[in-house]
Chain A
Amino acid sequence: MEQQFSPTLIIIPSQYVPVLLKLHEKLESKHVDWALSGDLGEALNGVRVRPDCVEIVTSKEGAEQIQESVKEFNPEPVAYRVQRLARNALVGNVEQPLYAGSHYFEFQIDGIKIKVNGDLQFKVNDWGWGDKFEFTPVWVYIVNKKTAVVPLPVKLELYQNLGWSDKVEKINLVITNRERLFHQRVR
């Protein structure tokens, strides 16, 4: 039987840690709001997923400030971009093309790709753009640096709307186990 770990256990590839600390070093005096999203953000919330890049969500202005702050890593210029995602949305059992629009740029630190999305929005097929991706972050200390992360309930709602049931299931597992932990504790 597979070893069952605590739903609160976080495991991310260790090479991400110095990259995130370097990001902090560049951004901590800039007064810019940014948060980790994507698979890394979920992993930092305890979801068993292996990230392949760092995804940051921020505002348009935030993206510009970040781009300015990481010049030494030769970032692309910030540009508004609409990209069709590799995975479709599943709405009413019908697959629909899914688009993300954001003020976007990317760069690399120590070989790890960092994608920055300012004012991120999603659109299914030719329907209207959704609301800007906004949330109250949860906080994770990367070693000793307090880091904003997109909370799981926000991701859960997003994936439910997109019909990505596998991701919904993974997040639900973590949330449910934590609730069980809490209820057992206070019973």
Chain B
Amino acid sequence: MSQTINHSSVDVVVLGMGVTSGTVAVELAKAGYKVVGLERGPHWDFASDFFYTKYDEWGIGFMRKFDINLAITTATLRNNSNQFALPIRRNTIGYSGQIISEGWGVGGMAQHYGGVMGRYGPWVYQTYSDTVSKYGLSFLNSAVPHQDIIDWPMTYEEYMPYYEQWEKMWGVCGTNEGPLLPGFTDSNYSYPLPPAPFTPVATAFKNATEALGYSPFPGPYALASQSFVNPYGVGVQGCMYDGWCAGPCNYTCETGAKANSDFRTVPAAISSGNFELRTNSYVFRLDTDSTGKIIDVRYYDEQGNVNIQPGTVFFNGLWGFNIVKLMLNSGVGTPYNPATATGSLGRGIAMGVPPPVRTVTGILENIGGNSYPCGNGYGGAYAIRDLCDDNFDHTGLNFIGGAYPEAGFFPGGGPNNFAFYADQPTPAMIGSTFKASLKDAFLPTKTLAAFAPSGVSPPVTDWYVDLDPHYTDRYGDPLPRLTIDWTMNEVNCANYLAPKCADILTKMGATNVQTSPTVTTASHNPAWQAHMRGGARIGSDPANSVFNKWQQCWTSQNLFAAGEICKPMGDNTTAGTHPIGPMSYVAAEGIQSYLKNPGPLV
């Protein structure tokens, strides 16, 4: 029979044990604060979970057995507010449409992400003000009808020291990013670890883009290319396979070269003596006092007992929109009302890496690739930033942002094809074209190259997260409901960039270069995916943001959060993990400030 268990109060309660939570936990624990970490999944056991079973390609790659069981909790999805949202019931990736990749267990989603990195550029942090000042508000409103874009509360320059701190801790591989990202050319700074050897496709891409006047640079990633120890004294031997495993975020990493909190932060937090990790702890409620201050968190343990954990500060590092779900179910924050475009919680949801709108494919023959080479994970790639952000003139283009062509790694995962990749390369979803492309890809002399420009996905007032009125999780709490679709911004961007991608492919020497038809509408997006952002965004105005620049909740000052869902805006330069690292260090600093002097930090 289940019972209620009351725990002693601690300084900081960290919810989730993924990318941001691990950083906050170790920072606070090493600073001497008592920290409890609550993780709904297990602490994976290296030997039994990874060592002996790791190459179960079907189970890991497609059945997503390291993701949360969607029978426990999921989200519902619809493309507009007139539709009835249905629950997402399968953890799948790629061709089936619905893409989910929630974290489950210590390490979170980064246990099986691709490790692709890359800072957001300055434009991302000031998209609204930069666009309005350069092109005018009417341009922005025309490019993104119903736009709900806000600037980040800090500039890229202000985030730079946090980026460096993160990169040195996470073990980011790469070199100097080049002229389009400040901080890499103004100083001698480069990523702490060198890149892996470049793949033949990457080299062809580099040569082609240079010839076309672009500025290629080694695509940064977080699969340690060399043995590495971070400032916490935790590290790993370098990846033995030059990042071969990455794929579509399929595989857990038995060596730990693929950076996640289990191999970078949690061991240091545990060894500090100030951190207690509680696994199989499903957080479901924040309790508040009359002032809105959080007094405790409630969670179910493995036996179904209700545990109550009081604390001074709470860090909400749950996966994705579960941050929003927990706050909405707890009555914390001001829910967004789409009818009036007021309120902030659930507002501004957007896709971090939208599904492909158009595709460009070609065949590279005798380039030196085959189906089983080393050096074709997320390491060994080249990328260009020339076609993203506002790095090209948007006058008359009717869209903002762009895409991030990157070449050299392995979007298929496991035995598959080389590919040339911006978002998700899919020559065709199913059918004979797909089969033919796979057949081509497996020929040792032929390498399928694909490019899928999708454009940046901006927040609009029509998209939001709220609580589903019909479906609940296993414990009876309403599921988060996503109302989201493409906008014409992605469509216009894809239509503009597709020919440029074709030019690059042709310059690379590809044959049979084909571009999918021009798209004219933005509706019925079949996919949502893991890198959702917005919904609990940071900002400078409590009216349209949930957290301030220190990641501190406007309405509950002892609640902090960081994660993709807290981003006001993004771009396509990364899958999205890299920029949340700096956010977690900002949050850790903010929490320490709050603990020393409780109150609003802004």
Contacts and interface: CB of A to CB of B under 8 A. Distances in A.
- Is B a genuine binding partner of A? yes
B445 to A, nearest CB: 23
A142 B46 CA distance: 24
Interface string B505-521: 00000000000000000
Interface in A26-42: none
A11 B262 CA distance: 12
A138 interface: yes
Interface string B162-176: 000000100100000
Contacts of A138: 227
A17 B168 contact: no
A16 interface: yes
B43 A141 contact: no
B22 to A, nearest CB: 15
B235 A4 contact: no
A91 interface: no
A44 interface: yes
Instruction: Among B30, B47, B48, B50, find the residue whose CB has the most chain A CB atoms closer than 10 A.
Output: B47
A46 interface: yes
Contacts of A11: 233-235, 267-268, 271
Nearest to B267: A11
Classify chain A's interface size: 20 to 34
A44 B240 contact: no
Contact of B229 (A15, A17, A184): A17
Nearest to A140: B227
A62 B184 CA distance: 34
B233 A8 contact: no
B254 A10 contact: no
A53 to B, nearest CB: 15
Instruction: Among A8, A14, A18, find the residue whose CB has the most chain B CB atoms closer than 10 A.
Output: A8
Given A11-B271, A14-B30, A143-B168, A181 B240 contact: yes
Nearest to B244: A185
B51 A3 contact: no
A127 interface: no
A44 B231 contact: no
B236 interface: yes
B597 to A, nearest CB: 27
A158 to B, nearest CB: 21
B45 A12 contact: no
Contacts of B268: 11, 14
A6 to B, nearest CB: 5
B234 to A, nearest CB: 6
Contacts of B30: 14
A144 interface: yes
A142 B47 contact: no
Interface string A125-143: 0000000000000111111
B81 interface: no
Contact of A143 (B45, B46, B48, B192): B192
A12 B47 contact: no
A88 to B, nearest CB: 32
B226 A9 contact: no
B229 A140 contact: yes
B255 interface: yes
A11 B257 CA distance: 14
A8 B236 CA distance: 5
Nearest to B190: A144
Interface residues of B, number: 35
Contacts of B47: 4
A93 to B, nearest CB: 34
Interface in A158-187: 178, 180-182, 184-185
A138 B236 CA distance: 13
Interface string B41-62: 0010111101100010000000
A1 to B, nearest CB: 8
Contact of B46 (A6, A139, A146, A178): A6
A13 interface: yes
B112 to A, nearest CB: 15
Given A9-B236, A14-B232, A144 B192 contact: yes
Nearest to A46: B237
A9 B260 CA distance: 12
Contact of A139 (B192, B226, B234, B255): B226
B257 A8 contact: yes
Given A16-B233, A17-B233, A138-B227, A144 B50 contact: no
Contacts of B231: 14, 17-18, 143
A74 B231 CA distance: 26
Contacts of A9: 46, 234-236, 256, 263, 267
B147 interface: no
A143 B230 contact: yes
Nearest to B237: A8
A95 B217 CA distance: 59
Interface in A99-144: 138-144
Contacts of B55: 184-185
Contacts of B267: 5, 9, 11
Contacts of B232: 14, 17
Nearest to B30: A14
A181 B193 contact: no
Contacts of A146: 226
A185 B51 CA distance: 10
B586 to A, nearest CB: 20
A182 B47 CA distance: 14
B33 interface: no
Contacts of A180: 51
B234 A10 contact: yes
A48 B121 CA distance: 41
A10 to B, nearest CB: 4
B240 A13 contact: no
B236 A14 contact: no
A6 B254 contact: yes
Given A46-B237, A138-B227, 20 more contacts: A5-B267, A6-B236, A10-B227, A10-B229, A10-B235, A10-B236, A14-B30, A14-B232, A16-B233, A17-B229, A44-B227, A139-B227, A140-B228, A141-B171, A143-B192, A143-B228, A144-B193, A146-B226, A181-B51, A181-B240
6 contacts: A9-B256, A46-B237, A138-B227, A139-B226, A178-B237, A185-B240
Listed from nearest, the 8 A-B pairs whose CB atoms lie closest are: A144-B192, A8-B237, A14-B233, A10-B235, A4-B47, A140-B227, A8-B255, A12-B233
Interface of A: 3-6, 8-18, 44-46, 138-144, 146, 178, 180-182, 184-185
